[in-house]
Amino acid sequence: MITRHEAYDLSRRNTFGMKVSCRLYVEVTEPEDLLTLDFDALPQPLFVMGGGSNLLFTRDFPGTVLHMGNRFLHPSGVRDDRESGVRNDKEYGGRNDGAFVIPSEAKESLVRIPAGIVFDDFCAWAAQEGLWGPENLSLIPGEVGASAVQNIGAYGVEAKDIIETVHAFDLRERRFVDIPAADCGYGYRTSNFKTVWKGRYIIMAVTFRLSLAPTPVLDYGGVRKALENRGVILEGEGMGPETYATLGILEGGAQPQVGRDGGAQLRRVSGPIPSSLTPQIIRETIIAIREKKLPDPAKVGSAGSFFCNPVISREHFERIVATAREENGPDCEVPHYEVGDRVKVPAAWMIDQCGFKGMRLGGAQVYPNQPLVIVNATGDATPQEIIALEQRVIDTIRKKYGIELHPEVEHVGAQLADNQRIK
Catalytic residues: 189, 305, 408
Torsion region of 17: left, alpha or beta (phi above 0 gives left; psi -120 to 50 gives alpha): left
* Measured CA distances, 343 to 234, 255, 317 (Å): 28, 16, 7
Collapsing DSSP to helix, strand or coil, 388 comes out as helix
Q: Tell me the residue type at 70.
A: N
Give strand pairing partners of 403: none
Collapsing DSSP to helix, strand or coil, 175 comes out as strand
* Measured CA distances, 320 to 28, 334, 351 (Å): 49, 8, 13
Q: How far apart are CA 162 and CA 109, in angstroms?
A: 11
> Could you give the angle at the alpha carbon of 101 between the alpha carbons of 97 and 107, nearest 5°?
155
Cα–Cα nearest to 317, from 354, 340, 342: 342
Q: How far apart are CA 94 and CA 177, in angstroms?
A: 10
Kindly provide the b/e burial profile for residues 28-48, where b requires at least 16 CB atoms within 10 angstroms of the residue's own CB: bbbbebbeebeeeebebbbbb
Q: How far apart are CA 100 and CA 114, in angstroms?
A: 10
Instruction: Count CA within 13 A, CB hemisphere, residue 239.
Output: 10
Q: How far apart are CA 371 and CA 381, in angstroms?
A: 17
Collapsing DSSP to helix, strand or coil, 216 comes out as coil
Q: How far apart are CA 50 and CA 42, in angstroms?
A: 19
Phi, psi of 117 (to 5 degrees): -70, 135
Q: Say if residues 142 and 46 touch (Cβ distance below 8 Å).
A: no
Q: How far apart are CA 83 and CA 131, in angstroms?
A: 13
Q: Which residues contact 309 (CB under 8 A, 6 or more apart)?
A: 188, 344, 345, 346, 347
Residue 235 is classified by DSSP as S
Collapsing DSSP to helix, strand or coil, 115 comes out as coil
